[in-house]
């Protein structure tokens, strides 16, 4: 299946699809309300292994948040102290069984910032789910467009086969009365054989598209897809290509790529704040109980402080690293914003050209081609033009119909890219 020229178009289209009684509506994909596709799209969102994997990743990321914010595990010690007089507890003031407890206490604000970093990481994973859902929808729409094009081409081949059969029958009848040459009959028969080869190719393309859809839907192999609409039913005149301003508006709030880098910047900022806190001391609380037999038990408690004595080589360097990571994230976010904007602008221009070409075919080229076929047939029947003129006019008509179908496919393909890049229009 040929692919569209240039980068994927990322703009919102308005299609009229009267075959399904939909009237004019603004939508990303012109077939989104078509019953067969709508059912497939719902099934893909429910069954896609990629989406289930992303959901599990979110669950794992959220489960990590309380872990990093929790206190370090306490330490319990059991020991024995010997004072040098006897082994029996209480043999002297220092002999006995000792139970100890120790708990590390991070400095003020550190646990909260560690939790905040983990929360930002979880939000990044949530954006991965958003991107995955859009990618699954995009791949399904692209496969559906491939399927629609393959079936449209098969319908075109069948139309061309019937028309060519009529021409072949006319040529044989004229050959029987000496008004045509045998080579004309053979040429028409060769065209029919060529159409059969083309039909088999499109049947193969249909099977490829269905196989891809079954993969996306996690269906058994060779599960059929019911009847789909024909591309020719799309009303090209109802397609509206937005302005550049409309196409790029709202990208920061909807583009999966930009949402991810914005979250990356926020996480880097919290990590920088945490690194600045790491220069403050941590604490440790300890307590012990000593059993001394007949003597009274002894209890001790103390609070220790962990001093950042190597701050110059550790905490300060960690802060410098965090600040550099933050600057890197900000620059990466700006670079991604420019990249996404440029992709939208380029794709919009490509789509606008495809829509214009499709309109020219619908409004002028095909109408002229049909008149040329009628004229060539009339001249051939009147003996004023050779058979090759009929065949050339006929082939030109269907070649242009194939080209129009390809252009309509390009529009479907480009519109399917909209959600994947997060382009929206009010």
Q: What is the DSSP string of 157-189?
A: HHHHHHHHHHHHHHHHHHHHTTSS-HHHHHHHH
Q: Please report the pLDDT score of residue 396 as a whole number.
A: 86
CB 122 within 8 A of CB 51: no
Alpha helices (H) along 100-226? 110-176, 182-217
Average pLDDT over residues 368-381: 82
pLDDT in tens, 179-192: 667 777 777 788 88
CB 397 within 8 A of CB 372: yes
pLDDT in tens, 340-356: 988 888 877 887 887 78
CB 152 within 8 A of CB 405: yes
Mean pLDDT (the chain) is: 84
User: Terminus-to-terminus CA distance in the chain, angstroms?
Assistant: 34
* DSSP-derived 3-state class of residue 356: helix
- For 298, the token pair is 């002894």
Q: Please report the pLDDT score of residue 389 as a whole number.
A: 80
Question: CA-based angle 192:196:198, to the nearest 5?
Answer: 115
- For 271, the token pair is 């990590």
CB 326 within 8 A of CB 269: yes
pLDDT in tens, 110-139: 999 999 999 999 999 999 998 899 899 899
Cα-to-chain-centroid distance, residue 78: 57
Q: Please report the pLDDT score of residue 424 as a whole number.
A: 60
Q: Please report the pLDDT score of residue 164 as a whole number.
A: 82
CB 286 within 8 A of CB 102: yes
State how far the Cα of 294 lies from the Cα of 320, in Å rounded to an integer: 58
pLDDT band at 6 (very low <50, low <70, confident <90, very high): very low
Q: Is the pLDDT of residue 25 over 50?
A: no
Average pLDDT over residues 162-188: 77
pLDDT band at 419 (very low <50, low <70, confident <90, very high): low
Neighbours of 7 (CB within 10 A): 16
Phi, psi torsion values for 279, nearest 5 degrees? -75, -15
pLDDT band at 337 (very low <50, low <70, confident <90, very high): very high
pLDDT in tens, 234-287: 777 777 777 788 778 878 888 888 999 999 999 999 999 999 999 999 999 999
State how far the Cα of 91 lies from the Cα of 84, in Å rounded to an integer: 9
Q: Among the listed ranges 228-237, 286-295, 379-388, which one has the minimum average pLDDT value?
A: 379-388
Higher pLDDT, 238 or 140: 140
Q: Is the pLDDT of residue 226 over 90?
A: no
Q: Is the pLDDT of residue 333 over 70?
A: yes
CB 257 within 8 A of CB 340: yes
CB 256 within 8 A of CB 127: yes
- For 11, the token pair is 């703009």
pLDDT in tens, 189-222: 888 888 899 999 999 999 999 999 999 999 999 8
Average pLDDT over residues 323-331: 96
Residue 294: DSSP 8-state:
T
Neighbours of 388 (CB within 10 A): 13
Average pLDDT over residues 157-181: 79
pLDDT band at 9 (very low <50, low <70, confident <90, very high): very low
State how far the Cα of 308 lies from the Cα of 104, in Å rounded to an integer: 15
pLDDT in tens, 51-103: 999 999 999 999 999 999 999 999 999 999 988 888 888 888 888 999 999 99
Q: Is the pLDDT of residue 27 over 80?
A: no
* Ordered DSSP codes for 247-277: HHTTHHHH-HHHHHHHHHHHHHHHHHHHHHH
As a dihedral over the C-alpha atoms of residue 84, residue 88, residue 92, residue 96, rounded to 10 degrees, the angle is 90
Residue 75: DSSP 8-state:
E
Q: Is the pLDDT of residue 24 over 70?
A: no
Q: Is the pLDDT of residue 17 over 60?
A: no
CB 117 within 8 A of CB 96: no
Q: Is the pLDDT of residue 150 over 80?
A: yes
Q: Is the pLDDT of residue 303 over 90?
A: yes
Q: Please report the pLDDT score of residue 350 as a whole number.
A: 80
pLDDT band at 302 (very low <50, low <70, confident <90, very high): very high
Q: Please report the pLDDT score of residue 23 as a whole number.
A: 38
Q: Please report the pLDDT score of residue 28 as a whole number.
A: 55
State how far the Cα of 260 lies from the Cα of 272, in Å rounded to an integer: 18
Average pLDDT over residues 10-35: 48
Q: Write down the pTM of the prediction.
A: 0.79
* DSSP-derived 3-state class of residue 41: helix
Q: Please report the pLDDT score of residue 349 as a whole number.
A: 81
Q: Does residue 23 come out as left (phi exceeding 0), alpha (psi in the -120 to 50 range) or beta?
A: left
pLDDT cut 70: percent of the chain above it = 91
Domains in the chain: ranges and CATH: 13-72+109-278+326-421 (1.20.1600.10)
- For 124, the token pair is 């990044």
As a dihedral over the C-alpha atoms of residue 78, residue 84, residue 86, residue 88, rounded to 10 degrees, the angle is -20
State how far the Cα of 247 lies from the Cα of 319, in Å rounded to an integer: 40
Average pLDDT over residues 5-27: 35
């Amino acid at each position: 299946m040929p692919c569209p020229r240039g980068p994927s178009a990322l703009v919102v289209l308005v299609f009229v699809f009267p075959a399904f009684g939909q009237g004019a509506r603004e939508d990303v994909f012109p077939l989104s309300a078509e019953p067969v596709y709508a059912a497939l799209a719902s099934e893909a969102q429910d069954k896609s292994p990629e989406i289930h994997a992303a959901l599990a990743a979110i669950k794992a990321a959220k489960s990590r948040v309380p872990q990093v914010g929790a206190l370090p595990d306490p330490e319990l010690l059991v020991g024995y102290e010997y004072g040098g007089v006897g082994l029996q507890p209480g043999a002297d003031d220092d002999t006995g069984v000792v139970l100890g407890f120790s708990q590390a206490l991070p400095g003020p604000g550190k646990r909260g910032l560690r939790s905040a970093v983990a929360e930002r990481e979880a939000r990044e994973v949530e954006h991965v789910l958003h991107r995955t859902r859009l990618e699954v929808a995009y791949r399904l729409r692209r496969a559906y467009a491939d399927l629609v094009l393959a079936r449209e081409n098969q319908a075109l081949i069948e139309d061309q086969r019937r028309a060519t059969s009529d021409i072949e029958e006319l040529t044989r009848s004229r050959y029987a009365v000496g008004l045509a040459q045998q080579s004309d009959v053979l040429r028409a028969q060769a065209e029919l054989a060529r159409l059969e080869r083309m039909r088999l190719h499109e049947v193969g393309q249909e099977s490829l598209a269905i196989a891809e859809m079954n993969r996306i839907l996690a269906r058994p192999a060779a599960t059929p897809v019911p009847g789909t609409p024909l591309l020719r039913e799309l009303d090209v005149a109802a397609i509206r290509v937005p302005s550049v301003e409309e196409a790029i508006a709202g990208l920061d709030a909807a583009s999966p790529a930009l949402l991810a880098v914005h979250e990356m910047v926020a996480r880097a900022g919290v990590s920088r704040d945490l690194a600045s806190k790491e220069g403050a001391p941590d604490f440790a609380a300890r307590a012990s109980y000593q059993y001394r037999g007949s003597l009274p038990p002894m209890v001790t408690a103390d609070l220790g402080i962990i001093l950042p004595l190597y701050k110059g080589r550790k905490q300060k360097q960690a802060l410098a690293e965090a600040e550099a990571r933050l600057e890197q994230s900000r620059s990466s976010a700006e670079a991604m914003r420019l990249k996404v904007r440029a992709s939208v602008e380029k794709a919009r221009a490509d789509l606008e050209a495809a829509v214009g070409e499709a309109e020219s075919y619908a409004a002028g080229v095909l109408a002229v081609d049909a008149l040329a076929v009628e004229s060539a047939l009339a001249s051939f029947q009147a003996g004023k033009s050779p058979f090759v003129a009929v065949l050339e006019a006929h082939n030109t008509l269907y070649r242009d119909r194939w080209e129009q179908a390809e252009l309509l496919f390009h529009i479907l393909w480009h519109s399917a890219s909209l959600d994947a890049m997060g382009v929206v229009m009010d």
